[in-house]
Amino acid sequence: MSEILDVQGMTCGHCEKAVTRAILQLDLQAQVRITREANRVEVANTPLAREALAAAIREAGYTVPA
């Protein structure tokens, strides 16, 4: 299963690492691909629902529009 999320507020490599870390804390098997210029986070190989992923990213300090 794959989810694509629009994530606002990622401005640097540190931001990418923080978002990746937030997702991997929920699912170590998840594959995270971030395209910062497009504010896009793609999470593959995870059974987690979109809302669970979005909540983890929000908790890390970033905005995920509904």
Confidence at residue 19, expressed as pLDDT on a 0 to 100 scale: 98
pLDDT over 90 (residue 66): no
Write the pLDDT tens digit of every residue in 3-44: 999 999 999 999 999 999 999 999 999 999 999 999 999 999
Q: Domain holding 40: CATH number?
A: 3.30.70.100
Confidence at residue 13, expressed as pLDDT on a 0 to 100 scale: 96
Domain count, the chain: 1
Confidence at residue 31, expressed as pLDDT on a 0 to 100 scale: 98
Provide the CB-side half-sphere exposure for 51 (13 A, CA). 0
Residue 66 lies in a domain: no
Domain range enclosing 9? 2-60
What is the distance between the alpha carbons of residues 13 and 26, in angstroms, rounded to a whole number? 21
Q: Where do we find the tokens 């594959």? A: 31
Confidence at residue 5, expressed as pLDDT on a 0 to 100 scale: 98
